Structure 1
Amino acid sequence: MRRQTRTAFTLIELLIVIAILLALGSIVAVNFLGAADKAEVDVQRAQFDQISEAMKRFRLDLKRYPSDDEGIEVLWNKEAFEDEEEAARWNGPYLEQPVTSDRWGAELLYTYPGEIVGESTYDLVSVGPDGEEGTDDDITNHDRRKTADGEFEQDESFTGESESLGG
């Protein structure tokens, strides 16, 4: 009798391969989505760095930070000033493009003087991906700092909550 050699996969073998590929695909997808979320947070932090640099230049010219009423609009719009005499000392725009919302479309929150961290000059807050103020994913200008080599590290003393901003 002559033996027949097997040349095809069985249905069970195909199902096992498909299951393994699906499992690997889901792991990759979860990691990719997490990386995309982290990238958006990093972009928001970079936007805060840009605003903070503009605030420094504003302060050099006007010897103060923008008031709550003016908000950060005075960084790009001279018409946002309350006082014409101060507007004359304005050497802006300090930001090239208006920045009124975060990466997720929510309005940026600005408070002067700052209330989140003791003795802070001002607060910038993004409500983060969930769109709700006071949750753990809120991003502020206080939640990280530069190290000597120019890299950023997480400030473990900051919880990320912004409940003290109120309304």
Structure 2
Amino acid sequence: MPGLRKHLSRKRAREAGFTLTEMMVVIVIIGLLSTVVVINVLPLLGGAREDKVRADLATLESSLTTFYATYGRYPTTDEGLEALVNPPREDRVAARYAEEGFIQRLPDDPWGNPYQYLSPGEHGRFDVYSLGADGRPGGQGDAADIGNWDL
């Protein structure tokens, strides 16, 4: 009997687990499913990035409007969007400036670049915009500039 038990336990040990073929089939199936998910999700990410830019631009535009209501002017191009976080130093009414600023911190665009600001702007009193995925003026698709004039 002891010999039979050893034989059966060795046989079970050989039969336990998966064969290489079974593992390869599982890996191929996982790869196919991953491909389907990536193909369906990537287009959504582009739309989400544009949505984030539009939301950030609306927030910055609102903060700039509040700045204007407080100071009677928009920040200059040299002061930039930083004037929303830190008071302009040479401004006489800086004492009225809220300690926390008009916005706590400046957001970066979804591609990690700072938003651009011009005052006066080419499209209005001021322009706030993202340079897109390439971080350069102009471009098409993901690389296209998105500005407050697009809102």
TM-score norm. by structure 1 comes to 0.63
Structure 1 position 62 matched with structure 2 position 71: yes
Residue aligning to 1:5: none
| Contact map agreement 1:70 1:82 (CA 8 A) in 2 | no
Structure 1 position 131 matched with structure 2 position 145: no
Q: How far apart are 1:42 and its partner, in Å? A: 0.6
Across the aligned residues of Structure 1 and Structure 2, the Cα RMSD in angstroms comes to 2.3
Q: Determine the C-alpha separation between the residues in 2 that align with 1:67 and 1:100.
A: 19
Number of corresponding residues: 120
| Structure 2 gap segments, 5+ residues each | 1-24
Larger radius of gyration: 2
Q: Determine the C-alpha separation between the residues in 2 that align with 1:102 and 1:25.
A: 28
- Percent identity for Structure 1 against Structure 2: 32
Q: 1:58 to 1:140 in 2, by over 3 A?
A: same
Q: Determine the C-alpha separation between the residues in 1 that align with 2:121 and 2:36.
A: 41
Residue aligning to 2:50: 41
Task: Return the structure number with greater relative CO, CA threshold 8 A, min gap 6.
Answer: 2
Q: Determine the C-alpha separation between the residues in 2 that align with 1:31 and 1:25.
A: 10
Q: Determine the C-alpha separation between the residues in 2 that align with 1:47 and 1:100.
A: 7
Residue aligning to 1:110: 117
Q: Determine the C-alpha separation between the residues in 1 that align with 2:137 and 2:76.
A: 21
Structure 2 SS opposite 1:39: helix
- State the 4+ residue runs in structure 1 displaced beyond 4 angstroms: 24-28
TM-score norm. by structure 2 comes to 0.69
Structure 1 position 51 matched with structure 2 position 51: no
Q: Determine the C-alpha separation between the residues in 1 that align with 2:126 and 2:72.
A: 14
